[in-house]
Amino acid sequence: MSDFLELKQQCFEANLQLPKLGLVVYTFGNVSVADHTKGVFAIKPSGVSYDSMKAEDMVIVDFENNLVEGRMRPSSDTKTHGYLYRQWPGIGGISHTHATYSVAWAQAQKDIPILGTTHADHLTHDIPCAPPMPDNYIREDYELMTGHQIVDCFNQRKLDYSEVQMILIGNHGPFTWGADAEKAVYNSKILEELARMALLTLQINPQAPRLKEALIEKHHQRKHGKNAYYGQDEGPE
């Protein structure tokens, strides 16, 4: 009996959300789920159709990318996930897609500007786009260096991974994360919608201004501040 049945099930269910949410086609994309107490994570097997894969197909690896359990080869992006879990212990899930609008911004090598309150409901920064990978990174361990590329960008811009839970990789695509896999997938969908809204806005008005700071603060605080009042209390009815 596997020691990782629950972790595999969580990973399986999170991966199935990607095609349901229109974030992937064919076998693109992957989600992983970490168990930091055990020092492992579950991730989608490489190149396996979402329609045919099962929970038991999820692959367990440690944070150094050593196979712990699984009969299939893990996602080709496994080393990226492992590096982020090692560097950022506060995250429990990572999602990578090739969703259309997110990828379009990544290929344009542009940050997604904060133009409206929908964006501010989720984060107070432009969504960063890391520069395309330098040649020396490409020549090394490509997937591992993708993780370095993400962390480098956050360090250079002095961003907090717990506040900004998404990034675009120049010429590549989006990565998102969160406290668990459900939040990581949620952030993938939010990123895609923000990318679409920003593109449409700039098509209508190429000089559309950045959302003013007072509205950024108001919308973010009403959802995430200590006196947040969006939604319902979770106490007894």
**Type of residue at 85:** Y
Instruction: Report yes or no: 155 and 61 within 8 Å, Cβ to Cβ.
Output: no
Spatial separation of the C-alpha atoms in residues 161 and 151, rounded to whole Å: 9
* CA angle centred on 189, ends 186 and 191, rounded to 5°: 105
Distance spanning both ends of the chain, measured CA to CA:
41
Q: Is 231 left (phi over 0), alpha (psi -120 to 50) or beta?
A: left
**Type of residue at 196:** R
SS3 36: coil
Catalytic residue list contains 111? no
Catalytic residue list contains 230? yes
DSSP symbol at 65: -
CA distances from 234 to 96, 121, 223, 230 (A): 31, 20, 14, 12
Spatial separation of the C-alpha atoms in residues 11 and 171, rounded to whole Å: 27
CA distances from 161 to 5, 118, 153, 200 (A): 29, 20, 11, 27
Catalytic residue among 121, 126, 141, 152: 121
* Radius of gyration from C-alpha coordinates of the chain: 18
Enzyme catalytic residues? 121, 230
